[in-house]
Structure 1
Amino acid sequence: MKVVLFCGGLGTRIREYSESIPKPMVPIGHQPILWHVMQYYSQYGHNDFILCLGYKANVIKDYFLNYRQTANSDCIITDFGTKVEILGNQPPDWRVSLVDTGTWRNIGERLMAVKHLVEDEEIFLANYSDGLSDVPLPEMISKFKASGKLACFVAIHPPISFHLAEFDDQGSVQRIRSSQESEIWINGGFFIFRKQIFDFINEGEELVLEPFNRLIEGGHLMAYRYEGFWRAMDTLRDRQVLEDMVDRGDTPWRQQSPQPSKVA
């Protein structure tokens, strides 16, 4: 299946990096987070990517135009560098479409801008380019196909705890509890769409607002509830958490043999 990745945002909440590079290129370990997202899909055999570029699109284009797998793999060099042999597993054969969808477009507009590249696909995948998870993709796809729905997204509990306050009309607090004790679920990205999704998006609309509500009215939207690992890189703190995980070799989003799922 083709994978659409939204790579055009400004990344204002991680400005320390995004003033010089687009958010998908912020490094986690030795590679940008975009590379980690693509590796996640690639391990399940999805190697045809469509990158919706925008802010500093040239930086992402330059990365792929000058990409060298030998810089990321163990290798043997002979004949003074004229021959290179990759050790271990061979790198995936990615097909990457780099499409400049404009700096100020929202997610819905970016998806519409690449419609011509997925309109022949019965089902395609999509995601933001700044979040990582070990969600079992084959199982999610299987459930989606069986449902007959037109769209699906991963629903997760907020990874950061906050306090929920309940109070009456006079402002008297009745209860305070942790969000981890609640049944709050949020959109975690990792979308699956049938090609009919484009019939529900009008010009200028954000993806998960008006179009998703139209899908809900028709009973066409499903959520895949997941309680395993999920982390979005919204802030420098999020980036540091992911960086520390990579340093420890703890990369759950890269499972050679996907682990049993934790699905509600």
Structure 2
Amino acid sequence: MKAMIFAAGLGTRLRPLTDTIPKALVPICGKPLLSHVLEKLVSSGYNEIVVNVNHFAGQIKDYLSSHDFGVKISISDETSLLLETGGAIAHARPLLESGDQEPFLVHNVDIISDLDLEWFRSEWRPDALATLLVSERQTKRYFLFDEENRLVGWANLETGEVRTPYQGLDAKKCRRLAFAGIHNISPEIFSLFEPYGLGGRFPIVDFYLRACREHPIYGVVPGQLKMIDVGKLDSLHEAEALCSTLLATL
């Protein structure tokens, strides 16, 4: 099974830590974030993993070359240009395509959670272009879903902005769920970026919002989810606490 870890981010909200190391190598419970995600993927059966790199790319490459995770790990190099999430997936196409229609997993490097990835994979729908892990956590920006948990738009509660391909959509009647940075994606997506006018550098959310009317994209809500987005300095203490709890259950 194939997976991709987004590890190319600049980690600006984690400065000054990321002034000298990439976000992927920020330590939590004595191990880099990248190691935590890799171990989770490997234990869930993923045996071909792509890691994209940009910020301090050499440090990540050195780390991976000096640690054996027992699976095939490939580098998708973005050192010449940080491609954002959508462009990163498109750029990694040669590493993620395998000739079949099995979905591949995409996982942010800064997410620590107790998510059962095997359960998440089992929630895949045959007609889906992608399934997004979402939750009811409080945030300012939400994906909007209909009664079947199909993506129909996006809303920023702070600014009032709503983005949707559906004319006349009433955002107040939609289910608002927060994206958790983990998604399963059909390889069909690679043939759709260009028809939707996307290429080079672009966020995957832009694509999802353009494509969701013609191609089903579903939200998957776990019964319970303990998760920390290690995106800011003030989240490090929470991440350490959650990581310690998860390690204690192994």
Instruction: Check whether TM > 0.5.
Output: yes
Report what 1:14 is aligned to.
14
Match of residue 47 from structure 1: 47
Separation in 1 of the partners of 2:53 and 2:239? 23
Deviations 1:58-98 (A, max 9, x none): 0101112222x6xxxxxxxxxxxxxxxxxxxxxx5121112
| 1:154 counterpart = 2:149 | no
* Selected match of 1:250 from 227, 245, 249: 245
Inter-partner Cα distance in structure 2 for 1:160 and 1:196: 31
Shift of 1:27: 0.2
Whole-angstrom distance in 2 between the partners of 1:213 and 1:160: 19
Answer yes or no: is 1:229 the counterpart of 2:207.
no
Query: Would the aligned equivalents of 2:228 and 2:238 in 1 still touch at CA under 8 Å?
Result: no
* Structure 2 match to 1:177: none
Among 114, 119, 122, the residue aligned to 1:134: 114
For residue 160 of structure 1, report the CA deviation from its aligned partner. Answer: 7.0
Show CA shifts across 1:7-51 (max 9, x none): 111011011211101111100011101111111111111132100
For residues 8-87 of structure 1, what are the structure 2 equivalents within 5 Å? 8-67=8-67
Separation of aligned partners in 1, 2:249 and 2:214:
36
For 1:195, the equivalent position in structure 2 comes to 187
Please, which runs of 5 or more residues in structure 2 have no aligned partner? 141-156, 159-174
**TM-score (norm. length: structure 2):** 0.76
Partners of 2:95 and 2:249 in 1: CA distance: 29
Q: TM-score, normalised on structure 1?
A: 0.72
**Counterpart residue number, 1:171:** none
Tell me how far apart the structure 1 counterparts of residues 221 and 73 of structure 2 sit (CA, whole Å).
Answer: 29
Q: Give the C-alpha shift of residue 159 in structure 1.
A: 5.8
Aligned partners of 1:107, 1:141: CA distance in 2, in Å?
A: 20
For residue 188 of structure 1, give the secondary structure of its aligned residue in structure 2: strand
**Does the alignment pair 1:217 with 2:196?**
no
Give the whole-Å Cα distance in 2 for the aligned partners of 1:112 and 1:243.
Answer: 33
Is the 8 Å Cα contact of residues 3 and 126 (structure 1) preserved in structure 2? Answer: yes
The one-letter amino acid of 1:99's match is: S
Identity value in percent: 23
2:74 maps to 97
Q: Does the residue aligned with 2:6 lie in a helix, a strand or coil?
A: strand
Give the SS at the match of 2:95.
helix
- Picking from 220, 233, 236, the partner of 1:239 is 236
Q: What are the superposed Cα offsets for residues 95-126 of structure 1, whole Å, 9 maximum, x if unpaired?
A: 11122123432111111111011122522111
Cα distance in 2 between the residues matched to 1:150 and 1:255:
34
Larger Rg: 1
Contact 1:150–1:193, Cα closer than 8 Å, also in 2: yes
1:151 positional shift: 0.5
Unaligned runs of 5+ in 1: 70-91, 167-182, 257-264
Aligned in 2, Cα 1:19/1:47: closer, same or farther, shift over 3 Å? same
Secondary structure class of the residue paired with 1:58: helix
Moved runs in structure 1, 4+ residues, more than 3 A? none
Query: How large is the Cα RMSD of the aligned pairs?
Result: 2.6
